[in-house]
Amino acid sequence: MSKKVDIKVTVNGKLYERSVEPRMLLSDFIRHELGLTGTHTGCEHGVCGTCTVWFDGEPVRSCLMFAVQADGHEVHTVESLGTPDNLHPLQQAFMEKHALQCGFCTPGMLMTFAHFIQRHPNPTDEEIREAMAGNLCRCTGYENIVEAVKLAAQRMAGK
């Protein structure tokens, strides 16, 4: 075991001070140190996208970063989007279009697309699918996710 390092990380707007081993993955830090278990891990080798969070505003694989690297940085997780009683428009669209089944990949999908919509306010099906290539889902066949992203984009653009 190597020496622990003190870090300060802002997650969903809240500052957390923790002491962690350098090898602790950011995904494990978020889940098990901070108890923000909405972020999931599915492969821990950077393909499935389930652990996607925002790091300084950009989506990253939290399984491919160490928590120490987040020292002084900002992280956003799915818990920052909406609450059960006040869903984010993307979450609302996922529900309406039945874009989730088991829901395990969903937090990663949401963090990918909440960012994607900012960059692509009027996305095509092809753009959505390309953007989704970094997130695996075993349940939905993806079609309803495409529909949900389109619906959310329209609503967020005020159309």
Enumerate residues 28-67 that contact other proteins by CB under 8 A: 28, 31-32, 35-50, 52, 55, 58-61, 63-66
DSSP H helix total and E strand total for the chain:
5, 5
Q: Interface with other proteins includes 103 (CB under 8 A)?
A: yes
Rounded least distance, CB 39 to other proteins, Å: 7
The token duo for 50 is 């389930």
Q: Interface with other proteins includes 8 (CB under 8 A)?
A: no
Q: Which of 98, 118, 122, 157 binds other proteins (CB under 8 A)?
A: 98
- C-beta of residue 58 within 8 angstroms of C-beta of residue 76: no
**CB-CB neighbours of 91 under 10 Å:** 22
Residue ranges in 106-135 that form contacts with other proteins under rule CB under 8 A: 106-107, 110, 112, 125, 128-135
Rounded least distance, CB 25 to other proteins, Å: 7
For residue 2, give every residue at least 6 positions away whose Cβ sits within 8 Å of its Cβ, in sequence order, or none.
21, 22, 23
Q: Which of 87, 89, 120, 155 binds other proteins (CB under 8 A)?
A: 87
- C-beta of residue 29 within 8 angstroms of C-beta of residue 67: yes
Rounded least distance, CB 15 to other proteins, Å: 19
Q: Which of 9, 34, 76, 94 binds other proteins (CB under 8 A)?
A: 94
Instruction: Say whether 38 sits in a helix, a strand or coil.
Output: coil
Mask for 139-158, x = binds other proteins (CB under 8 A): xxxxxxxx------------
Distance in angstroms (rounded) separating the CA atoms of residues 152 and 143: 14
